[in-house]
Structure formats: C-alpha cells, structure tokens
Amino acid sequence: MSARALPRLARRAIGAVAACALLGCFTDHGGASSTGTDATDETEAATMTTAPDPTTGTTAPTTSSTTSGEETTVDPCPPGELGCPCGDGPCVEGSVCIDDVCDHGCGDGALARPEELCDDANAIEGDGCNNDCQPSGALRWVKSLGDDVTSIRAIDVAVSGGGVIYVTGVSDDGGVEGSNIWVAALSADGELSWARHFDHQGGDDAGTAITVASSGAVVVTGVARDVGDMQVAWVHRLDPQGNPLWDQPAIYDGGPLDDSAHDVAIGLDGTIHVVGGRGVLEGLDLWYGTFATADGVNSFNHVVAREGDDEAFAVAVYEEVVVLCGRVGEVGVTLPYVRTIFDGAQASEWLGSPDDGDTILHDCVVDGDGVLHLAITQKPDVTLYARFQLDATGGLTPITPGSSLGPITYGLAVDDVNGHVITTGYVISGGDDIFVRRAPIEQYNVEVWLATYAGMFGGVDRGAAVALTPERDVVAVGSVTIGDAVSQAWIGRYSP
C-alpha cells in the first residue's frame, strides 16, 4: 500500500519557511507608491517576528502587515500541513491533520479512522485484515433465486475474466415433465443478467458443472433422463448471453444404462474435458472424454473399470496433463482415486488406503505451480486434505498426507497469490448450514476466516462449489431450504 504523495501546497509551505529564515519576508499588499527612498508610507508598516519551527525547535519568520490600522497575519506553517503543528506534534509524510489529529490512514498499523475496523500494516489480501482495513471474509452480497413454486439448487460456479458469474444446477416447478438443467449469469454486484432452463426429453434433467474459457465460451455438463427412463450425460455450449450453440450426449457408447457427467474443464488449446461415469452391467465405470469447442465433436475417450462402482467427480488440466479425481470401488469399500493422463494414455494413479474406510474424492484443483489439491470426504463427516506435486508428464509425488480440512467439503479453490485454500460445504448445527472457509495451504488446520450461512427455515442448507473473481473475492454457491422439498439457489460473494 503506497504512502500518500507529498501535497504540492505542503512543499510550497516548507519552501516559504526556509526562504523566510534565510532572507526575511516582506508582503506587498499594494496601495502604496514607491519613492525610490528608504522611507515607508505612514499608513503601511511591515514588521517581522519569529515563531517556533515545530520540526526543528528553531524559529521561522511570521510576517504581519498593517494597512490603514488593520493587522493581518500570514502563517508560513498552517496547522495540518506537512511538518506543521497538529495536536501534540507535526504530521509526517503519509499523514494528514484531521480534527487536530495526525491521521496516517489505512495501512499504517494504527486504527486512526472510525471506518478502520482493522489495520495490520501490510498489503496482503485475505490474511484476516484486507487492504481496505476491513476484516477478511466479509459478505459483500448474497442472492437467492427461486420461489415457493420453482425449486432451484445451484451446483457449480465459474467466473469469467471480466467478472461475470456463471452458475448451473437444477430447477423444478413441480410439473409432470420433471426438473430442468438451469444456467444463470450474474453481474459482479450480484444482479441477475439472465437465466435459462433446458428440458431435453421430458424427464428429470440437471446441470452438474460449468466452466468459461478465456474466449468467452461457456460450457455446461449435465444429465437428462429420457422417455425410456435412462439417464444420459450431456454437454452444452452457450454463448455469453446464454444462447445455445450446440449440445449433445457425452458418453460415446452410452447404452441402455445410466450415464453421468460430473465436471468439465477447458484446456489452453480450447479442448473441452469432461468426466463422469458410464453405466455397465456391473455398475459404473469411470469415464473421461474430450470434445471440440467449435462443434462438440467427441475426439477421445478413456475408461477406468475396477471391481465396483467407479466414477470421476472432478477434472483438472495442467499444461498437457489431465487429472481425473473421484472414487473406485474395491471389495466392500469405496476409495478416493486419482489418475493422470498424458499424451492420450495413463501416466500415474493414486488410490486411497482401505484403512481409511469409505471415502470419496469430491473435488480437485491444480494450482499454477503444478500442485494438485484434493478434498476427500471420509464418511460420515470428516473431510481430508492432501497434496501432490505433478510433473510435466503426469507423475505424482505426495507432498502431505491426508489431514482434516474441516467440515464436510464439496467445493475447493486455490488462491495462488497468498497460498490459501478456499472451501465450501456444510456444517451440522441443528440443521445443515453453508460454510465458506479460507486457510493457508501450509497450515490448513488453522483457518484465516470461516463464514457460515443459515437459511430462514433451519433446514438443509449446503454449499456446493466455490470460485475466485479477478479481484480474488470468493464466490460460493449452493442451496437453502425454504419449504417442504423446495430450495432456492444461493450465491454469496465474500471479500478475500
């Protein structure tokens, strides 16, 4: 946080003090003629006295003049100017005199102004006290969408480089045609720009994930139940105004069994990466596919088939490495699972320990240094946090073992700038309440801040996903219960 620049008037005042000290000062008020002699008009006299210099203890000239019997004083060191008196002493550079008090402003480590609620004298956002001298994690605004007729749940969120907030989930008006894929866009200040409801084949449909590319392409994944009561995985591409450009089934050989698409990411080359589960007679196989941004053509597919139900819930892209995160079924237990793909083939994999019991990897993120961050839920109510270092060809090296991350976590984001992990999910407090949490990566058991949100009706309120804005604010989404089987989409924006 930069100090205030030295005011121009202050510089002039200092110059005036120095000049008067050396040469003496005379103020010509006009009205008297010059005779070219040493005589002085009897109606005008200039005298010079000295006043203490508050910065040095010496004296500086003060000029007084009398015209027609009236005396005025010109003070070369007005109170409040740099180096001039203010209360108990002079103000220094970077401060101003307000109500006879030297106010150093936000960032000096002192609570000098009433509007300053904290001041830690640094320029680090999200460390407990932000650069505006307000506590971190303050709720800037909250938006609820839906009513007592149309139930909406927000499931995922993405923020564009321009700060537009895109949300997807499920909407249901209680009609016979079932639920729909729901997509909405909000401005940076929380105003709804548009909302779309997509109904595929008359059954229950839901949006599951959303992402936005630097080009402005918005891609949504979802599921749709067809007339034969089979669930089909779908991929949609929309323009920034929510108009559909193309959509198509995601699973390349989806048969007469339920398929799912759970997450989507866009690589630097524009390739769309989708993960989910493919229905087979034995249950589910973990599935990953790629699609062209221009027309949605499926170009690559990869399947993980182990002993039980296998499914990917998250996908992350780092340079040329794709990371698939989810679960696999072993004998009598579900384990967290990571597989990396490089150059179209498996590079590495990691499988959680059966000693941990039933666990599911809900979300994963790769930061700018190639560190993979995992949010793993260990049933019934413990979330573990683990990290791996990725190499350029998909190799995985453990950095930290799984340790408690806090409450039940569904969404994860990483702030590369100050090395923090941000999570959302729910805490159990009477009912279920949404939480949003920021903690240092290296000390993730010690939170910087924890914000909770409880709906008015005390029901099941849960956070689902979290993202960062270009200003590094935190946007979390989820749902709050407002009645019997009726929910509202919940979107909240917090300071860093």
Q: Is residue 473 part of a domain?
A: yes
Q: Tell whether 184 and 301 lie within a shared domain.
A: yes
pLDDT tens string, the chain, 496 residues long: the values are: 433 333 333 333 333 333 333 333 333 334 433 333 343 343 333 333 334 443 334 434 444 444 445 555 555 555 545 556 676 566 666 566 666 666 667 877 877 677 889 988 888 889 899 988 899 999 999 999 998 778 999 999 999 999 999 999 999 987 767 889 999 999 999 999 999 999 877 678 999 999 999 888 899 999 988 767 788 899 999 999 999 999 988 876 656 688 999 999 999 999 999 999 998 888 889 999 999 999 999 999 999 988 888 999 999 999 999 999 999 988 778 899 999 999 999 999 999 887 767 788 889 999 999 999 999 887 767 788 899 999 999 999 999 765 666 688 999 999 999 899 999 999 987 778 999 999 999 888 889 999 999 887 778 899 999 999 999 999 999 999 987 778 999 999 999 9
Q: Is the dihedral of CA 248, 254, 256, 262 positive or negative?
A: negative
pLDDT digits (tens, 9 = 90+) for 283-298: 889 999 999 999 999 9
Q: Tell whether 57 and 173 lie within a shared domain.
A: no
Q: Tell whether 272 and 408 lie within a shared domain.
A: yes
Q: 381-398 in b/e burial notation, b at 16+ Cβ within 10 A?
A: ebbbbbbbebeeebebee
Q: Tell whether 61 and 195 lie within a shared domain.
A: no
Q: Tell whether 58 and 182 lie within a shared domain.
A: no
Q: Is residue 134 part of a domain?
A: no
Longest pairwise C-alpha distance within the chain: 118
Q: Is residue 298 part of a domain?
A: yes
The predicted pLDDT at position 2 comes to 38
Compute CA distances 274 → 167, 262, 314, 371, whole Å. Answer: 17, 8, 9, 21
Q: Domain end: 36, 56, 81, which one? A: 81
The predicted pLDDT at position 59 comes to 39
**How far apart are the C-alpha atoms of 82 and 384, rounded to whole Å?**
55
User: Which position has the token pair 């409801």?
Assistant: 197
Q: Is 452 helix (H, G, I), strand (E, B) or coil?
A: strand
279 pairs with which residues across the strands?
A: 284
Q: Is residue 486 part of a domain?
A: yes
Q: Look up residue 391 and give its DSSP letter.
A: -
Q: Tell whether 50 and 147 lie within a shared domain.
A: no
The predicted pLDDT at position 93 comes to 61
Q: Tell whether 265 and 168 lie within a shared domain.
A: yes
Q: Is 439 helix (H, G, I), strand (E, B) or coil?
A: strand
**How far apart are the C-alpha atoms of 184 and 168, rounded to whole Å?**
6
Number of structural domains in the chain: 2
Q: Tell whether 48 and 159 lie within a shared domain.
A: no
Q: Is residue 199 part of a domain?
A: yes
**How far apart are the C-alpha atoms of 429 and 458, rounded to whole Å?**
9
Q: Tell whether 49 and 162 lie within a shared domain.
A: no
409: closest CA among 359, 465, 487, 467? 465
User: Which CATH number belongs to the domain containing residue 181 in this structure?
Assistant: 2.130.10.10
Q: Is 16 helix (H, G, I), strand (E, B) or coil?
A: helix
The predicted pLDDT at position 252 comes to 62
Q: Is residue 104 part of a domain?
A: no
pLDDT digits (tens, 9 = 90+) for 70-105: 555 555 555 545 556 676 566 666 566 666 666 667
The predicted pLDDT at position 68 comes to 47
The predicted pLDDT at position 402 comes to 57
The predicted pLDDT at position 404 comes to 66
The predicted pLDDT at position 143 comes to 97
Q: HSE (CB half, 13 Å, CA atoms) of 55? A: 14
Q: Tell whether 76 and 144 lie within a shared domain.
A: no
> Are 171 and 218 in contact, with CB atoms under 8 Å apart?
no
Task: Please state, as a whole number, how many other Cβ atoms lie within 10 Å of the Cβ of residue 476.
Answer: 29
Q: Does 256 sit behind a cis peptide bond, omega within 30 degrees of 0 on the bond before it?
A: no
Residue 64 structural domain: 8-27+44-81
Q: Tell whether 173 and 66 lie within a shared domain.
A: no
Q: Is residue 34 part of a domain?
A: no
Q: 31-69 in b/e burial notation, b at 16+ Cβ within 10 A?
A: eeeeeeeeeeeeeeeeeeeeeebbbeeeebbbbebeeee
Task: Supply angle C-alpha 460, 465, 471, rounded to 5.
Answer: 130
Q: Is residue 56 part of a domain?
A: yes
* pTM, to two decimals: 0.79
The predicted pLDDT at position 177 comes to 75
Q: Tell whether 20 and 157 lie within a shared domain.
A: no
Task: Supply angle C-alpha 127, 424, 218, rounded to 5.
Answer: 105
Average pLDDT, the chain: 81
Supply 3's token pair: 């100090």
**How far apart are the C-alpha atoms of 143 and 418, rounded to whole Å?**
28
Provide CB contacts within 8 A for 72, sequence distance 6+: 64, 65
Task: Supply angle C-alpha 431, 403, 325, rounded to 5.
Answer: 85
Q: Which amino acid is at 152?
A: I
Q: Is 154 helix (H, G, I), strand (E, B) or coil?
A: strand
409: closest CA among 377, 446, 367, 441? 377
**How far apart are the C-alpha atoms of 37 and 39, rounded to whole Å?**
5
409: closest CA among 462, 350, 461? 462
